[in-house]
Amino acid sequence: MSAISLRRVVKRYGDVTAVDGLDLTVPTGTCVGLLGPNGAGKSTTMRLLTAQAIADEGSIEILGFTLPQESKAARAQMGVVPQLDNLDTTLTVEQNLLVFTHLYRVGRAERRGAIDRALDIANLQDRRGARVDELSGGMRRRLLIARALVHEPRLVLLDEPTVGLDPQVRQELWALIDRLRSEGASILMSTHYIEEAERLADTVVVVSHGRHVAVGRPSDLVVEHAGREALEVYGPPARLREVEAAARGRGWPTRRTGTSVTILRAEGLEGEVPEGERRPASLEDVFVLLTGEEIS
């Protein structure tokens, strides 16, 4: 049984189709990265999974429960880390966790242990009595994650878990998420950071315009869509246009990277190849190729 299974899910808001026939599977015990540019339907997908949005078409199953009818039972066994910080800022770290032990129905006898364990996961043991508005951004994020784990959920949803954080904090959170994964939880993580998906996800689902455009292990996706090597050709804009036109003429896949033109599948180029730097192809190449969009 999969932890999450979406089949041909459609969600419309008026004339806008936010999710457009999405298939998505999270095999039990794995981490799946939902990778897509802003507006690809990632947030709507996350809302569908907690039944805060109701699908117009298709079927959604979570931990064996059918949504939206059995959503409440599913929610009891999953933890959700929202993109927007919605901690109670005038409460202490411990009070925030206490409230969620009640919301997640942790039994009276287990409450204290659950709070201690969550503090431990978030590495906030020495801040348990601090008010949330006294915490740093990184600590608040860790608390937000810990809050979703007080009931030891079998499935964790992470909506853009490191958006807007500095690189150091991001790495801290990656370690935390990696630990979760190694402990056997099933994870669905939406992100628009390539590196995040590459490091944490067993499987990546690339979404664009509400639809899955590629599914696979990050390394497989790279080989399949971008080949093994990429050739970066630098130069003034006129030169870049020239290289691009020439490459197109010969049927070579390219992408623009601002200051350069990248020729993909560079390992197999034949004939006259422009001067440039060779580097291994990356998931970012795949992403831009498939979604047609530049990202961070």
Partner 1 sequence: MASRDRPGRLDRPALTGVLVREVVNFGSYWRASTFSSTVEPTIYLLAFGFGFGSLVSSVNGLDYVQFVGTGTVATAVLFSSVFPAMFGTFVKREFQRTYDAILAAPVDTEEIVTAEALWIAARAGVFGCAPMLVAIAFGLDPALGMLLVPFIAFIAGFGWASFGILISAVIKSIDNFSYVTSTVITPLFLVAGTFFPISGLPEWARILANVNPLYHCVQLVREAIFGLGWVDLYHLGFMVAFGLIAWRCAIWRMEKRLVN
d(CA 208, CA 22): 10
Total residues contacting partner 1 by CB under 8 A comes to: 32
Q: Does 168 bind partner 1 (CB under 8 A)?
A: no
Question: For partner 1, what does the binding mask look like between residues 140 and 159, x meaning CB under 8 A?
Answer: --------x-----------
Among 4, 40, 51, 114, binds partner 1 (CB under 8 A): 51
Question: For partner 1, what does the binding mask look like between residues 87 and 116, x meaning CB under 8 A?
Answer: -x-xx---x--xxx-xxxx-----------
Q: How far is the CB of 38 from partner 1 (least distance, A)?
A: 19
Among 33, 37, 41, 82, binds partner 1 (CB under 8 A): 82
- Which one-letter DSSP state was computed for residue 9? E
Between residues 103 and 245, which has the closer beta carbon with respect to partner 1? Answer: 103
Q: Return the number of other C-beta atoms located less than 10 Å from residue 112's C-beta.
A: 12
- Which one-letter DSSP state was computed for residue 131? B
Between residues 110 and 242, which has the closer beta carbon with respect to partner 1? Answer: 110
Q: How far is the CB of 176 from partner 1 (least distance, A)?
A: 19
140-144 long-range contacts (CB < 8 A, ≥24 apart) are 140/85, 140/87, 141/85, 141/165, 141/169, 141/173, 142/172, 142/173, 142/176, 143/87, 143/93, 143/96, 143/97, 144/81, 144/82, 144/85, 144/87
- Which one-letter DSSP state was computed for residue 133? G
Q: How far is the CB of 207 from partner 1 (least distance, A)?
A: 20
Site for partner 1 in 3-42 (CB under 8 A): 13
Q: How far is the CB of 291 from partner 1 (least distance, A)?
A: 26
Q: How far is the CB of 62 from partner 1 (least distance, A)?
A: 9
Task: Give backbone dihedrals phi and psi of 150, rounded to 5 degrees, phi first.
Answer: -60, -25
Among 8, 38, 64, 224, binds partner 1 (CB under 8 A): 64
What count of Cα atoms within 13 Å lies in the side-chain half-sphere of residue 196? 29
Question: Token digits for 133?
Answer: 């508005």
- Which one-letter DSSP state was computed for residue 83? S
Q: How far is the CB of 53 from partner 1 (least distance, A)?
A: 6
Q: Return the number of other C-beta atoms located less than 10 Å from residue 134's C-beta.
A: 11
* 3-class secondary structure, 211: strand
Q: Contact residues for partner 1 (CB under 8 A)?
A: 1, 13, 50-54, 63-65, 70, 72-73, 75-77, 80, 82, 84, 86, 88, 90-91, 95, 98-100, 102-105, 148
